[in-house]
Amino acid sequence: MKRTAKINLLHRDAPNSQQQTGSSPAAMTLGQLQRNYQAILQTRAIYYPVAYQFLRKLGAGRQGEVFLGLRQGARGCITEHAIKVFDPGIYRSPEEYWSDMGRIASQISQLQRLQSPNIVTRHTYEETYGIGYVQMEAVDGIDLRSFLSREHLDIAMKRSTASEMAEFTRHMFRLDGNRICMRPGLTLYILRGVLRGLERLHAMNFLHSDVKPANIMFDRLGFVKLIDFGRAVTAGEELSFLFGSPLYMSIETHEQKPGGPDSDLFSVGLVALEMLRGRPLLDDPEASLETLLAVKRGLATTLDSLLPTEVLDSADIVSMIRKLLHADPADRYSDAKEADAGTEGLGKIDKRLVQEGQDTDYERVLSDYLSKLVDPQTNRIEIPQSQSPTSSLALMRDARAVPRGAPYA
C-alpha cells in the first residue's frame, strides 16, 4: 500500500478555523456539533489540532466510528493509528456530550499506562471543533464477530491447500450449515486472553462494560486483544447513561444496577456460548429486551439445550460456562483471575486437554490462518464488511444514549 506523503490540511468541507478560535465549545449548539461530526466523516480527515487522513473505516457502533488513520507528524513522519470519533448525536445537549467526553479523557489518563499484550494501547484523547476522538493502536487482524461470519472462509479456502484447510478445521472450527462453531480448545485460548486483559483492567478498578465479539481481536501473530474501552467505568460507578450492547449485557446492567468484575464475566460467558454454538444467544431482531433479559436469567438451567454435543461431553467446560452465566453475581467467579487460574478455572481445563492430546499451538494456528487473509495489494488483512446476525439485535437496540433510570429506547 502506498502511503500518502503529505496530508492536505485544507478542505472545503472541513469546519473552518475561525469556528475553532472564534467560538468556545460552550457556545456551540448540538446542531453545530452534529454538523462538525458529519464533516469529519465526509472528509475522512481531522485537520486540527493534529492532522489525520482516514484510509478506511474499521468499525461503527453506538458511540461513533473508528477509522484507520495516517497521522502527519513533524518533518514528514507519517504513522498509522486507529482513530475513534465520538458521535454527539446520541446526547441531549452539548454539555451532556462534553461531560461524557470528560469521563473518557479521565479514563484514558489512567489507562494509558496500562500495559498488557491482551489489551489494545490507547494513546491520547483530543478534540477538534468540539468533537472528541481517541488515538489508539491500530491492530492488523480480525475481530471475533467477523471470524464467526463466513466472509473470511471463502478467501481462506481459495488460498489454502486441502491439507491446510483440514488442519484449520480440525483445530479451529467446524462448519454447521452456514454457521462457524469454534472448537473448545480454541475457544478456551481466546477466553483466557480476554480474561488476562480483564484482569489487568480490573486491577485498576475499571470494568470494560462492553465485552462482545466485535471488541475481541486477533492480530497477525495470533495474539488475543481486547479493544474499545469507550464504555469502561469504575467498579460500582453510578452511570448517567446506559452504554453497551444489550445482547451481551449482564443481568444487573440490564437492571441499571452498579456492576463489578463479575458483570464483565457474564459477558465473557455469553461470548463463550456464541463461539461454541456458532450463533448469538438470540438472533431474532424482533425480540424484546424483556425477552432477552428473561432468557439470560434462565441460562444456568437451560445451558445444556444450547450447547453442541461435543461440548456437552466435557463436563468441566459446561460447568465453567454455567458459572460465568449465573443470574446471581455471587455465584459467578469472583474475578477474572479466578476464572482463568482458579481451581475451577479455564487453566485447569486447558491442562486436561493437553494431557489428552487435544491441545495445539493456537497462536501459530491462528497466525497461519490469518496469513491467508492478507490482501497482497495492501499487505493487510482485508475482510468484506457486513452486518452479521451476531450484532443485529444489539444495533437495533442501540439507537441513542439512555439516561439512567429511563426505559431503553
Closest residue by Cα to residue 309 from 158, 162, 174, 178: 174
Does the pLDDT value for residue 409 go beyond 60? no
Does the pLDDT value for residue 11 go beyond 70? no
pLDDT score for 138: 93
pLDDT in tens, 252-290: 988 888 889 999 999 999 999 999 999 999 877 778 889
Average pLDDT over residues 30-54: 95
Tell me the residue type at 350.
D
Average pLDDT over residues 298-310: 92
Q: In sequence order, what are the beta bridge partners of 174?
A: 181
Of residues 61 and 236, which shows the higher confidence score?
61
Does the pLDDT value for residue 1 go beyond 70? no
Of residues 25 and 288, which shows the higher confidence score?
288
pLDDT score for 57: 92
3-state secondary structure of 375: strand
Average pLDDT over residues 2-20: 42
Tell me the residue type at 163.
S
Rounded to the nearest integer, the mean pLDDT of the chain is 85
205 half-sphere exposure, CB direction, 13 A CA radius: 5
pLDDT score for 406: 38
Torsion of CA 152, 156, 158, 159, to 10 degrees: 140
Do residues 55 and 78 lie in contact, with contact meaning Cβ atoms separated by under 8 Å? Answer: no
pLDDT score for 393: 37
pLDDT score for 63: 87
Does the pLDDT value for residue 139 go beyond 80? yes
Q: How far is CA 72 from CA 5, 21, 77, 138, 229, in A?
A: 9, 22, 6, 15, 25
3-state secondary structure of 170: helix
Q: Round to whole Å and give the CA distance between 325 and 249.
A: 11
- Would you tell me how many other CB atoms lie within 10 Å of the CB of residue 54? 20
Q: Round to whole Å and give the CA distance between 138 and 45.
A: 16
Q: What is the DSSP letter of 246?
A: G
List, in order of start, the domains of the chain with CATH numbers: 17-136 (3.30.200.20), 141-403 (1.10.510.10)
Specify the pTM: 0.85
pLDDT score for 95: 94
Q: How many residues does the chain have?
A: 409
Does the pLDDT value for residue 314 go beyond 50? yes
Closest residue by Cα to residue 224 from 271, 168, 266: 271
DSSP string, 301-370: HHHHHHS-HHHHT-HHHHHHHHHHT-SSGGGS-SSHHHHHHSTTSHHHHHHHHHHTT----HHHHHHHHH
Average pLDDT over residues 370-396: 65
In the chain, pLDDT over 90 holds for what percent of residues?
61
Of residues 226 and 243, which shows the higher confidence score?
226
Does the pLDDT value for residue 403 go beyond 50? no
Q: Round to whole Å and give the CA distance between 186 and 188.
A: 5
pLDDT in tens, 166-200: 999 999 999 998 899 999 999 999 999 999 999 99
- Work out the end-to-end distance of the chain between its first and last CA atoms, rounded to an integer number of angstroms: 42
Do residues 71 and 78 lie in contact, with contact meaning Cβ atoms separated by under 8 Å? Answer: yes
Tell me the residue type at 370.
L
Q: pLDDT-derived band of residue 149, with 50, 70 and 90 as boundaries?
A: confident
Q: Round to whole Å and give the CA distance between 43 and 58.
A: 16
